[in-house]
Amino acid sequence: MIRSMIDDDILTLEEVAKYLRVSERTVYDCAQKGEIPAGKIRTSWRFKKSEVDKWVNDKLASGNLNAQINTIHVQSVLSSQRIIFLNNLSKREALLTLAENLASAPQIKNRQELAAEILKREELMSTAIGCGIAIPHVRLSSVTDLVVSIGISRMEIQGFNPMDDEPVRLVFMIAAAFNQHAYYLHTLSWFSNRLKNKDLRASLLSAQTPQEAYDLFTK
């Protein structure tokens, strides 16, 4: 039985693979090459969770996260049912509407907490990242696994105050379990990097159905 990663700071190779959502072979290869902090007990690799988290943070900050590690399986975190069109809404209305949609996912166990924490996070600092995109995100103990909802607006969403002054029209809401720090960062990075593509943003804004938008990420 796999030990709880919350209670135990020393992880096995299998636990790190589950934590990072990659194959055990990928973790093994990274450990063998010295690309990820690890140590050996006899013939078995062991990893300190705090060091794995720091390694992920450092790699993301430098833009050097291994592409193999940074792969996100979109089908496991997003469905076409969690892509909705938001029109003529304020920031607060857009966030609450998207939070309600996200709460329909079985991974969300407390929809009231989700909505409240999303709004609280937004009050601290705008989640607009430029290019007409906002990525509101939270980690909660009431969430069992990472899940994503996307809002596409035909009109400008007022209130995000983006630094580049380009009005927000695409909102990607991410909720993760409290112990999914690394995977949470991977997902934020993956969506942020993909959305730098101007053609992808334009295609999302012109999508006529949720399925069409979903296909842009999965095909």
> What residues act catalytically?
137
HEC string of 57-107? HHHHHHCCCCCCCCCCCHHHCCCHHHEEEECCCEHHHHHHHHHHHHCCCCC
Q: Which two tokens stand for residue 115?
A: 């909505």
Amino acid at 94: A
Task: For residue 83, list its beta bridge partners.
Answer: 150
Residues contacting residue 176 through CB under 8 Å, at least 6 positions apart:
137, 138, 139, 140, 143, 145, 146, 147, 183, 184, 187
- Look at phi and psi of residue 165 and say left if phi exceeds 0, alpha if psi is from -120 to 50, else beta: left
